[in-house]
Amino acid sequence: MFKIGFIKLGNIATSLAIDLALDEIAERTDIEFKVISFGPKMTKKEGEASAELKAWGPQLVVISSPNAATAGPTAAREIFKGTPTIIISDGPAKKEARDAIAADGFGYIILPMDPLIGAKREFLDPAEMALFNADALKVLGAGGAVRLVQEELDLAMQSISKGEIKLPAILATPEKCAERMDFQNPYARAKAVGSLYMAQTVATIDAQACFRLKELEPIALAAAAGHEVMRAAANLADAAREMEKALDTVSRKPHARSGEPMKKTRLLEKPERI
């Protein structure tokens, strides 16, 4: 049994699906999960508190959070130095910062298309928060980001099982995500790529609302604009998938009970080992 541990600090939409994506029908017999989180909190205190996962003896640790360069995620990383650990976050996007993470022996997948929410009391409430995450999850799921994470975690676990640890070092781009979905129709792929770029635009807009603007009206307006673009991105991602459905060429990659990767393309065909 492979022991994989997750530390979720604060929230990005990827975090919502990250563990579920490894065993989507809860039938794998080769893997054990442990997930620790402190809900929305992600300060240094929570980063440090994540140390308690260590006692469980995870073979791979995944730390997912917004901006991995902040204090909480940084504190958590310190603790797991030495344990195979993969950072999943929407940043840092800068190469040097990512290289520093890699230099410390961590794997990483940076997903700039998992955007900052419009996190201001003037706009956000629990319902709006849920809706934003729903839209983001749609883009990530249909556009290939969820699969990219799934495949890389599966590969990392395999490498650890074989004793040849290999961790990902990936700055995800819209193109790289969409490639994973094996779109047969290039227009569907273009829609997916477009929706992922739109998600990146959301981050820019929401950053204004969260960090730069100071007055109620511009904050509420910017946050609302960001969430409108997120919703439009979800619609475009959905259209990409509908286009593949129209050709019955949706690529599916479920896990076998043994954990092995499988795939199928036509809805009424059986999944097969890859």
Site for its own copies, residues 226 to 265, rule: CB under 8 A:
226-229, 231-236, 238, 241, 243, 245-248, 250, 252-256, 262
CB atoms within 10 A of CB 155: 14
Task: Tell me the window of 7-15, 86-94, 95-103, 104-112 that interacts with its own copies (CB under 8 A).
Answer: 7-15
- Least Cβ distance, residue 169 to its own copies (angstroms): 22
For its own copies, the binding residues in 45-104 under the rule CB under 8 A are none
What stretches of 81-185 show up as alpha helix (H) in DSSP? 95-103, 126-143, 145-161, 174-180
**# residues near its own copies by CB under 8 A:** 107
* Dihedral sign, Cα of residue 139, residue 144, residue 148, residue 151: positive
Residues ≥6 apart with Cβ < 8 Å to 62:
4, 5, 6, 7, 18, 85, 86, 88, 153
Q: Which of 2, 158, 221, 265 binds its own copies (CB under 8 A)?
A: 221
Q: Which is nearer to its own copies, 164 or 214 (CB)?
A: 214
**Of the candidates 254, 258, 266, 201, the residue with the CA atom closest to the CA atom of residue 227:** 201
Q: Are strands 2-8 and 60-65 parallel, antiparallel or unpaired?
A: parallel
Q: Which is nearer to its own copies, 10 or 84 (CB)?
A: 10
For its own copies, the binding residues in 99-138 under the rule CB under 8 A are 119-131, 133-135, 137-138
Cβ distance 111 to 171 under 8 Å? no
Q: Which is nearer to its own copies, 100 or 247 (CB)?
A: 247
- Residues 11-50: x where in contact with its own copies by CB under 8 A, - otherwise, as a string: x----xx-xxxxxxxxx----xxxxxxxxxxx--------
- Least Cβ distance, residue 163 to its own copies (angstroms): 24
For its own copies, the binding residues in 188-217 under the rule CB under 8 A are 189-191, 193-195, 197-198, 200-201, 204-205, 216-217
- Least Cβ distance, residue 212 to its own copies (angstroms): 12
Q: Which is nearer to its own copies, 99 or 260 (CB)?
A: 260
- Least Cβ distance, residue 21 to its own copies (angstroms): 4
Q: How far is CA 233 from the centre of its chain?
A: 16
Residues 84, 214: Cα–Cα separation, whole Å:
42
Q: How far is CA 177 from the centre of its chain?
A: 11
Q: Which is nearer to its own copies, 33 or 159 (CB)?
A: 33
Cβ distance 87 to 68 under 8 Å? yes
Residues ≥6 apart with Cβ < 8 Å to 51:
79
- Residues 137-176: x where in contact with its own copies by CB under 8 A, - otherwise, as a string: xx-xxx-x-xx--x-----------------------xx-
Q: Please report whether residue 2 would count as binding its own copies according to CB under 8 A.
A: no
Question: 3-state DSSP call for residue 99?
Answer: helix
